Amino acid sequence: MELAVWEGLFCLLPSLLVLLLSLGLRWPGLHCRMRSAARAAGCSLWLVICLILELPPDKKRMTQTEEVRPPDVSSGSGQVSGGPRLICKPTALAKYLLQSCSSLTQMRPAPGPRGDPHLQTLSGMLGEGRGGGRSFSREHLLLKDGGVVALDWAVGTVSAGMFWRTGSQWRTEHHLDGKAQGGFTATPPILLIIPQYRGGMTPHVKALCRQAMQRGFYVAVVHSRGTAGCLMTTARLTEFGDPADLEQVLVYVHSRHPSSMLVAVSEGSGSGVLLSYLGESGSGAYLTAAAAVSPVLLGQLWFETEMPPIYRCGLLFPQKLQLSRYKSSFDGILDVDRALRSSSLRDFEESLFCSPEPVPPQSPRPHAQGLSPSAVWALGERAYPAGDWGSYWERNEPLRDADDVAVPVLCIHSSDDPLLPAASSLPISLFQNNPYFLLALTERGGHCGFALEHQEWSDGAQARESGSWSHAAVLEYFRLVADFLRLEERDLLGRKDLVGETSQRSRTNMAAPRRRRAITMRRTRPQAAELNGADSEDRKFAWKRSYTR
């Protein structure tokens, strides 16, 4: 009998422990202590994992940027501790963004393990995004040299309207009020997303697609040749800073949607192509605004910087796997065997795009053998491999033509980014002196992570929907740039009307002065010479000039 009682108690012991634990957790004091103990245990376990993976500990790599705050430009009111800081030249656009863009002045990073830079970076590289359920409609674009790039259009219904494809055209259906969600006009803007250098649909890209569609954008993800299942029809890969393919994509999208505003955002190393395009195109760029999340601003430095083994393998393995699929096609043109044996990003890139051996003058140069003469002429020097590592970066450095950029560019960078060089290497002088470049520098965020704590933003959109501050900041930045340009256009038209009215009055009545109508303007009245010059300028060029005043 006694043995049976003890056996019964022993069987009920797990249930009793669960009951006692549930009762204890109802006590606030014990509940807080249990949470603290679990958090401490999780942090200790994560530190052990970081030591095993040779990951540097989480530390705020604060730099001298705290001492180089541009004059008259601050982080704005309402900035919280650890929030972003905008580094830029004090232009009219920068001041407008500081006054109106709450995302650039407020950021509440995720606490605890969710805010760890390595965890955010690894989850973005290895995890499956919650936007994976979003369906895409792929469209292939044939390039001038015979290559093929892919456009993945995010398909779905947004509150502003819905779009679908019939035949070869995109059709839209909007509400009767003519306004789209997010404050845009009846013609929704088109957001082009440029993934990492070697392609792929990361969880961050999927989440950005979902949130952009909710805010009234039409979204297309640009996949370069041979990436993300895109066809490889030529024996030519895209160099790090070669914007030729992106330019043809923008020409195509603009021709199909001439009334839509085009904006673009890059993820990580995809900034090499985006910034190169903006520099080479100058004022002729098809983009109205651009943004770069965790951008690679100094390409050569990034390729030469040592990174932890897990990140190096995570970046090299997909590229080697992709190259091995087309090994037979590249034999005799690229040094595929050397690239597959490489153990660093520099060795891999150098083996594919650099040819240190001198080529005899009479022999055909490599890389041009598989291209037509017209394609070779169109590509120019890019039809042939670079002579060495230094000459490769002379034509592929993202900021090589930064002085020619005529489109506002917002760069978002975190000081604890484990994939990029230390924040002390950032070209701060570029953002201080160039009116088109803006830098939002945060203390925490990892690489393309910027996870947020669960809260509601002032506009009603919940942060938990995307979980990334950079997504909300980029989309709000695009909306405000569109509003700023609309105000500048209205102001320019008002100045032109003022010039016409003044000249007409001077011709009709030179003697008797008449009482003039009061005119409300945002700036002081310009001189007559300035008005005549502004009247002869193109409207688009005048918008661009407005950024620098």
pLDDT of amino acid 495 = 66
- Using CA atoms, how far residue 371 sits from 90, 146, 233, in Å, is 48, 8, 11
Q: Is 447 a catalytic residue?
A: yes
Active site residue 31: no
Q: What percent of the chain has pLDDT over 90?
A: 45
Higher pLDDT, 523 or 86: 86
Q: What are phi and psi of 193, to 5 degrees?
A: -105, 125
* Cα-Cα end-to-end distance for the chain: 94
Could you tell me the pLDDT band of residue 67, with boundaries at 50, 70 and 90?
A: very low
- In tens, the pLDDT along 446-461 reads 999 998 876 544 444 4
pLDDT of residue 123: 85
Q: Which of 193, 60, 110 is nearest to 450 (CA)?
A: 110
For 125-160, the pLDDT digits (tens) are 875 544 445 689 999 999 988 899 999 999 873 433
Distances 549 to 58, 76, 89, 213, 450 between C-alpha atoms, Å = 41, 20, 10, 34, 32
pLDDT tier at 53, thresholds 50, 70, 90: confident
Least reliable range by pLDDT among 70-84, 112-126, 267-281: 70-84
pLDDT of residue 166: 34
* This prediction's pTM: 0.77
Q: What distance in Å separates the CA atoms of residue 452 and residue 386, rounded to the nearest whole number? A: 43
What's the one-letter identity of residue 317?
F
pLDDT reported for residue 285? 96
Chain-centroid distance, C-alpha 282: 19
| pLDDT beyond 70 at 349 | yes
Residue 494 is predicted with a pLDDT of: 67
pLDDT of residue 434: 96
Contact yes or no for 424/63 (Cβ under 8 A): yes
Residue 26 CB-density burial (10 A; 0-12 exposed, 13-18 middle, 19+ buried): exposed
Q: Name 437's bridge partners.
A: 409
Average predicted confidence (pLDDT) for the chain: 77
Q: Which band of pLDDT confidence, cut at 50, 70 and 90, is reported for residue 503?
A: low
Which residue shows structure tokens 């330019």?
247
Give CA–CA dist 87/495, Å, rounded: 31
Structural domains in the chain? 87-127+134-156+185-305+400-453+466-490 (3.40.50.1820)
Is the pLDDT confidence value at 517 over 90?
Answer: no
> Looking at 447, 459, 483, 497, which residue is catalytic?
447
pLDDT of residue 131: 44
Mean pLDDT score, 390-411: 96
User: Is pLDDT above 80 for 481?
Assistant: yes
Catalytic residue among 417, 459, 497, 538: 417
- Whether the pLDDT of residue 215 is over 70: the answer is yes
